[in-house]
Amino acid sequence: MSKRMELEFGAEKLSLAVPEATNLLRLPEIRPLADPAGAILTALATPLGSPSFSSLVRACRNRQADPSAVIVISDNTRPVPYCGPDGILEPLLSQLREGGVRRITILVATGTHREMTADELRAILTPSAFQADVTIVNHDCRDESSLRCIGRTRRGTDIWLNRHYLDADLKILTGLVEPHFMAGVSGGPKSICPGLVGEKATTVFHGARMMADVRAASLQLESNPCQEEAMEVATKAGVDFIINVTIGRNRQLTGVFAGALEQAHRAAAERVMTESIIPIPSEYDVVVTHAGFVGINHYQAAKAAVEASRAVRAGGTLILAANNTDKNPVGGPHYRQLLPLLTELGIDELERRLLSADWTFVPEQWELQMWGRALRKLGDPNRLVYCSPQLTGMAFHGLPGCDGGTGLTGNLRGRDLAEAMVQQSIDRALAAQPDSRVAVLADGPYGVPRIENG
């Protein structure tokens, strides 16, 4: 006996035939805010640990004859609601303008990601972001002329930071708080580190030793070295105000947290840590998941693999669907250069080399270690089946795991091809082990499976 389940695939759904006993693992249903626009205004008026946003703007205007403000935003790998009825950007711009601020920079915290294109920016930003008093800047971690050093952290990071941010009179961070497989949760200080730092600063923040630390994991805030480093950098850089949000399954606002950096981010993080855990009775033989909104390329899809590996037994099978729509569906040049080493050397030898004193740090090497976490749990890299219509056939060469499209014929494309890839992968896993316990992880990288009482 079988039944059908749906799996998210970008803006579309895959319809899959699965065994009758398959468990659907999903986050608890969180009711969206009834009045998101009102909640945003309330959060700006009564923030945590801070005067109201409008009073901060007035105070800045009183100190400076012609004040400037910077609003740091996430790039399009994060579904932050910047426009529309849930949009957090328009209220910020309106109150800045009402307070007499006429020099506004919207700074895209790309980290080591590529810059956003004009079309991509127009797709996520509110229309008034394109008025004459606003300048939109993509952070470039490799452009040393756009950076300035403000000191060193206790762990030895030389803090080279975006000068547009440092030079602004009023510094505002925005972001989404959700589980993050290295930093515990996203948002807060991550807008600055790694969002606005120079590439060399990632040598420590994403260095091999920090990535090998078991405390650098989802929903782990206390003693998490990534979170601690990010907060230290952000504190040294200075933050006047943040507005962070949480969202539900349909990407509607479920919470707005504004105010001082540590207080507002901690409040959002505590909400996420109670709402993002998916209790499971035990591990499964086969887990099917998807790469989520963030999984625009193979680099980003590692998040889904790491979280799903929590639910699969050692030696089990992990089937990952990913809609890799980025213009570079594998990832950046450093990642593409290093990725074959994961297959050629194996997980343990690769990590040994990354940790050795004679290894020269390469940006984006950290994501290989993250893939390594998932592959180590599976035991055999071939137990990972990657199902992306953009990365199949010759395009899959050099990637870890198995190509979910192997053996498929016909002229399938896009969603239809992805559905066939995932269905074939499920059928093959069940043919090899008919009594497999199967689970479908409906929320992809946004849910964190945890064994009950474990």
Say yes or no: 88 and 212 in one domain.
yes
DSSP secondary structure of 417-441: HHHHHHHHHHHHHHHH-TT--EEEE
Domain identity same for 172 and 302: no
From 24, 2, 14, select the one nearest 430 (Cα to Cα).
Answer: 2
In a shared domain, residues 251 and 313: no
**Hey, which of 25-29, 76-80, 188-192 has the most confident mean pLDDT?**
188-192
Stretch 350-368: mean pLDDT: 93
Q: Are residues 61 and 201 in the same domain?
A: yes
CATH number (domain holding residue 9): 3.90.226.30
Number of H-type helices and E-type strands within the chain: 15, 20
For the chain, how far is it from start to end, CA to CA, in angstroms? 32
In a domain, 31, yes or no: no
Residue 407: its pLDDT value, please? 94
- Within 13 Å of residue 428, how many CA atoms lie on the same side as its CB? 21
**Is residue 102 within 8 Å of residue 133, measured between CB atoms?**
yes
Tokens of 55: 């009073």
CATH at residue 131: 3.40.50.11440
What mean pLDDT, rounded, does the chain reach?
95
Say yes or no: 313 and 376 in one domain: yes
Domain that residue 406 falls in:
2-26+278-451
Percent of the chain with pLDDT over 70: 100
Per-residue pLDDT, 248: 85
**Domain co-membership, 64 together with 208:** yes
Residue 50, phi then psi, degrees to nearest 5: -155, 150
Q: pLDDT by residue (tens digit) across 214-252?
A: 999 999 999 999 999 999 999 999 999 999 999 987 788
Residues 399 and 315 in one domain: yes
Residue 353 reports pLDDT greater than 70: yes
Query: pLDDT digit string (tens) for 53-106?
Result: 999 999 999 998 999 999 999 998 888 999 988 899 999 999 999 999 999 999
Could you tell me if 363 and 401 lie in one domain? yes
Rounded to an integer, what distance in angstroms lies between the CA atom of residue 139 and that of residue 126? 19
Sorting pLDDT into bands at 50, 70 and 90, what band is 112? confident
Residue that is last in its domain, among 275, 303, 332: 275
308 in any annotated domain? yes
Task: Read off the pLDDT band of 454 (50, 70, 90).
Answer: low
Asked if residue 94 belongs to a domain, the reply is: yes
Number of domains within the chain: 2
Given a contact cutoff of 8 angstroms between Cβ atoms, the answer to whether 401 and 382 are in contact is: yes
Query: pLDDT (tens digit, 9 = 90+) per residue, 399-437?
Result: 999 999 999 988 899 999 999 999 999 999 999 999 999
Residue 306 · residue 181 · CB < 8 Å: yes
Q: What is the pLDDT of residues 270-292, one digit of tens each?
A: 999 989 999 999 999 999 999 99
